[in-house]
Chain A
Amino acid sequence: MTPLPAPADYSEKIPNNVDLHEDRRLQRALESWQPNFLTWWESMGPTLPTEDVYLRTAVNVGREGWAHFGHVAMRDYRWGIFLAERDRDRRIAFGQHRGEPVWQKVPGEYRADLRRLIVIQGDTEPASVEQQRNLGATAPSLYDMRNLFQVNVEEGRHLWAMVYLLHAYFGREGREEAEELLHRNSGSEESPRILGAFNEETPDWLSFFMFTYFTDRDGKYQLGTLKESAFDPLSRTCEFMLKEESHHMFVGTTGVDRVVERTAQLMLEHDTDDVGGLGGIPLNVIQKYLNFHYSVSLDLFGSETSTNVANYFTAGLKGRWSEERRRDDHRLTDDSIMVDAVVDGRIGQTEVSALVGLNSDLRREYIRDCQNGVNRWNRILEEAGLPQRLRLPHTAFNRRVGAFSGIEVTPEGEVLPAEEWERRKGAWLPTDVDKTHVRSLMRPVHERGKIAAWIAPPRQGINGKPFDYDYVHLA
Chain B
Amino acid sequence: MSVEHELTVGMVTGEGSMTITAGASGAPEDVRPQEDPGPRSAVGFQTHPSRYRHWHLSVEGPIATLTMDVDEQGGLVPGYELKLNSYDLGVDIELYDAVQRLRFEHPEVRTVVVTGGKEKVFCAGANIRMLAASTHAWKVNFCKFTNETRNAMEDASAHSGQTYLAALNGTASGGGYELALACEHIMLVDDRSSAVSLPELPLLGVLPGTGGLTRVVDKRHVRRDLADYFSTRSEGVGGRKAVQWRLVDEVVPRPRWEETVAERAAEFARTSPRPQDATGVALTPLDRTRTADRVSYRHVTAVLDRDRGCAEITVTGPDAEPPRTVAGVHEQGARFWTLAVTRELDDLILDLRTNETELGTWVLRTKGDPALVLAYDALLLDHAGDWLVNEIVLYLKRTLKRLDVTSRSIIALIEPGSCFAGSLLEPALAADRSYQLSGVFEEGDPAAEPATVTVGPMNLGPLPMGNGLTRLGTRFWGDADALAAATANAGEALEAEDAERLGLVTFAPDDIDWADEVRMAIEERASFSPDALTGLEANYRFAGPETVETKIFGRLAAWQNWIFYRPNASGPDGALRKFGTGQRADFDKKRV
Contact = CB atoms under 8 A, between A and B. Distances in A.
A11 B138 CA distance: 58
B512 A111 contact: no
A172 B506 CA distance: 13
B526 A109 contact: yes
Interface string A146-186: 00000000000000000000000101100000000000000
B586 interface: no
Nearest to A108: B523
A114 to B, nearest CB: 11
Contact of B519 (A28, A108, A112, A172): A108
B22 interface: no
Interface string A89-132: 00000000000000001111111100000000000000000000
Contacts of B526: 108-109
A254 to B, nearest CB: 44
Contacts of A171: 509, 513, 516-517, 520
B527 interface: yes
Nearest to B512: A25
Given A24-B512, A25-B512, A172-B509, A109 B517 contact: no
B282 interface: no
Interface string A42-57: 0000000000000000
Interface in A60-112: 105-112
B527 A109 contact: yes
Interface residues of B, number: 15
Contacts of B512: 24-25, 28
Interface string B513-553: 10011011111111100000000000000000000000000
Contacts of A28: 512
Contact of A172 (B513, B522, B525): B513
A109 B520 CA distance: 8
Q: Which secondary structure characterizes the binding site on chain B?
A: helix
A182 B391 CA distance: 59
Contacts of A108: 519-527
B50 to A, nearest CB: 48
Given A108-B527, A109-B524, A25 B519 contact: no
Nearest to A25: B512
A109 B523 contact: yes
Contacts of A107: 523, 527
A106 B509 contact: no
B507 interface: yes
Interface string B498-516: 0000000001010011001
A108 B523 CA distance: 4
Contacts of B507: 172
Contacts of B520: 106, 108, 111, 171
Interface string A3-39: 0000000000000000000001100100000000000
Interface in A391-439: none
Contacts of B509: 171-172
B305 to A, nearest CB: 14
Contacts of A112: 524
Contacts of B517: 171-172
Contacts of B516: 105, 169, 171
A106 B521 CA distance: 11
Contacts of A25: 512-513
- Of residues A25, A106, A108, which shows the largest number of chain B Cβ atoms within 10 Å of its Cβ? A108
Nearest to B508: A172
B443 to A, nearest CB: 10
B530 to A, nearest CB: 14
Contacts of B523: 107-109, 111
A172 B508 CA distance: 10
Nearest to A106: B520
A175 to B, nearest CB: 9
Contacts of A172: 507, 509, 513, 517
A120 B495 CA distance: 36
A171 B509 CA distance: 9
Nearest to A110: B527
A106 B522 CA distance: 12
A246 B524 CA distance: 36
Contacts of A109: 523-524, 526-527
A110 B513 CA distance: 18
A171 B521 CA distance: 11
A356 B537 CA distance: 32
Nearest to A23: B512
B308 to A, nearest CB: 9
Nearest to A175: B513
Nearest to B516: A171
Nearest to A27: B512
Contacts of B522: 108
A111 B524 contact: yes
A105 B516 CA distance: 9
Nearest to B525: A108
A109 B527 CA distance: 5
A171 B523 CA distance: 14
Contacts of A169: 516
Nearest to B527: A109
A399 to B, nearest CB: 36
A28 B511 CA distance: 12
A25 B516 CA distance: 11
Contacts of A105: 516, 519
- Of residues A105, A109, A171, which shows the largest number of chain B Cβ atoms within 10 Å of its Cβ? A171
A112 B523 CA distance: 12
Contacts of B525: 108
A260 B525 CA distance: 57
Nearest to A28: B512
A171 B526 CA distance: 19
Nearest to A29: B512
A197 B524 CA distance: 33
A105 B519 CA distance: 10
A24 B524 CA distance: 25
B363 to A, nearest CB: 13
Nearest to B514: A171
A354 B525 CA distance: 29
Contacts of B519: 105, 108
B433 to A, nearest CB: 13
A24 B515 CA distance: 13
B589 to A, nearest CB: 35
Contacts of B524: 108-109, 111-112
A68 to B, nearest CB: 32
Contacts of B513: 25, 171-172
B147 to A, nearest CB: 33
Nearest to B521: A108
A82 B134 CA distance: 56
A74 B512 CA distance: 32
A110 B528 CA distance: 11
A171 B522 CA distance: 14
Nearest to B519: A108
19 contacts: A24-B512, A28-B512, A105-B516, A106-B520, A107-B527, A108-B519, A108-B522, A108-B523, A108-B524, A108-B526, A108-B527, A109-B523, A109-B524, A109-B526, A109-B527, A171-B509, A171-B516, A171-B517, A171-B520
Interface of B: 507, 509, 512-513, 516-517, 519-527
Interface of A: 24-25, 28, 105-112, 169, 171-172
Given A110-B527, A171-B513, A171-B517, 15 more contacts: A25-B512, A106-B520, A107-B523, A108-B519, A108-B520, A108-B521, A108-B522, A108-B524, A108-B526, A108-B527, A109-B526, A109-B527, A112-B524, A171-B520, A172-B509
Closest 9 CB pairs of A and B: A108-B523, A109-B527, A108-B524, A108-B520, A25-B512, A171-B517, A171-B513, A171-B516, A111-B520
